[in-house]
Amino acid sequence: MISFIILMSIVICFSAVLALALNFQWGSGGMVNFGLAGFYALGAYACALLMLKGGFNTFFATLGAMAIVAVACGLVAIVTLRVTEEDYFAIVTLGVGEMLRLVALNEDWLTKGALGLSGIERPFNDWVAPTSYSYVMLGFCALMVAATVWFLNKLARSPFGRVVRAVREDDVVAATLGKHVLWARIRIFAIGGALIGLAGSLHAFYYQYIDPTQFSNIVIAYAFMAVIAGGRGAYLGTILGASIVMVLLEGSRFAKDLIPSLSSDQLAAIRIIIIGVGLIALLIYRPQGFLREYRLQANLSGSKQQSP
């Protein structure tokens, strides 16, 4: 039971990093990313290929994956937003995400297609005994989550963080105040892309084997559920939302023990229904999510205070 809890906690950690990336792009920046699963796959495959074919260690492979996904997201943003309206951006990301998934599935010379990539090295694997490694992996993933939250909170309190929220609320007003809206959106999507690359790297480290079936569009649904449950723009709330979604998802596996007559297909459907019902209840009774976004308010004396 302890082993299951530890392994589930690791899954929660890299799922939380992925949800935090989406919360920055969509929750804080207002940029809907329906190609999340494709960019997530790009991060995992980039990290794995940099190690397996490039000879990089886990640290530089992770940095490389983050840079690759950041550049890919930045290019998508700059190409799309320069030639079309913002409303079509979500459709473009969906198409790009599907394109990335098809590349992973069909380019056998690079990704081995449906066979996937195996033998992915884990961080600190040579320094830690196999019996203790799950604890080290959990600590490493938890550290990455904490670092991501710290970075995003620092960013939210910076001048650029105020630009991010201004662009989300009203880009016309932001442009009137002299802000370069296009450049701000490119940076928003690229920074979120770097965090997606980190989540994909952690995914590859954990499973040590990746294939295209691991990056289906259901990943997008889980990430959006975590953001909505935690609260748009609330990064600590996103961790809570991701934890609840994953606990419901993984914990519902035990329904088979309670009701042995359930088939695998019925169990899979029940798991999705449980999450859906929980999300609907949350939207009815607490539509703002578990926590609220960090905001600054200025009183009459000019000092800044955090809103409740």
CB atoms within 10 A of CB 279: 20
How far apart (Å, rounded) are the C-alpha atoms in residues 18 and 242?
9
Helices (H), the chain: 2-22, 36-52, 58-83, 89-106, 108-111, 133-156, 159-169, 171-176, 181-207, 218-230, 235-251, 255-258, 264-285
How far apart (Å, rounded) are the C-alpha atoms in residues 81 and 84?
5
pLDDT one-digit tens code per residue, 91-103: 999 999 999 999 9
Site of tokens 């993933």: 141
Dihedral of the alpha carbons of 176, 180, 182, 187, in degrees to the nearest 10: -140
How far apart (Å, rounded) are the C-alpha atoms in residues 281 and 75?
38
- Compare 293 and 245 and report the one with higher pLDDT: 245
Query: If pLDDT is split at 50, 70 and 90, which confidence band does 299 have?
Result: low
pLDDT at 304 over 60: no
pLDDT at 302 over 80: no
Query: If pLDDT is split at 50, 70 and 90, which confidence band does 300 have?
Result: very low
Q: pTM value?
A: 0.90
Query: If pLDDT is split at 50, 70 and 90, which confidence band does 131 have?
Result: confident
Question: To the nearest whole number, what is the mean pLDDT of the chain?
Answer: 88
